Structure 1
Amino acid sequence: MRKLVREVVTFVRNAGGSDVWVSQGGKHTRINFTDPSGRKSHLLIHRGETVTTRYAAMIRSQLRRKIAP
């Protein structure tokens, strides 16, 4: 989970996003960020989920769609 969160934060910053912060609740980890166009967005990662390669690919895909212009 930590590796996936670090990867997401790095991807957002490399794509030109900013204002990235991570908050953890009881059931989810929320990654808030501002995309390159200035729109605020977030990703939710369920904390009970085992992070498989397939699950990580799904999160990356969601992030690419949110960052895309």
Structure 2
Amino acid sequence: MKCRMCGFEFDEKDLKNRGCVGCGKHGHCNQVHCPNCGFGNHPELEEEFEFINKIKNRLKIRKKDTNYL
């Protein structure tokens, strides 16, 4: 998994405490906190963010291509 806040890559399966301590769910939390910055990432949203990033990159490429015309 890649943290959406700091970009640190880590394996969420290797984490001892996946969920946050403050939410009260202790282990049943859907968030996976980054060991580097502590940001709570949602594994379910990874595919959605990947799709959005692909669209953004395509738009950037198109914008660069049209600037040369």
Q: Give the structure-1-normalised TM-score.
A: 0.28
- Higher strand proportion, which one? 1
Larger radius of gyration: 2
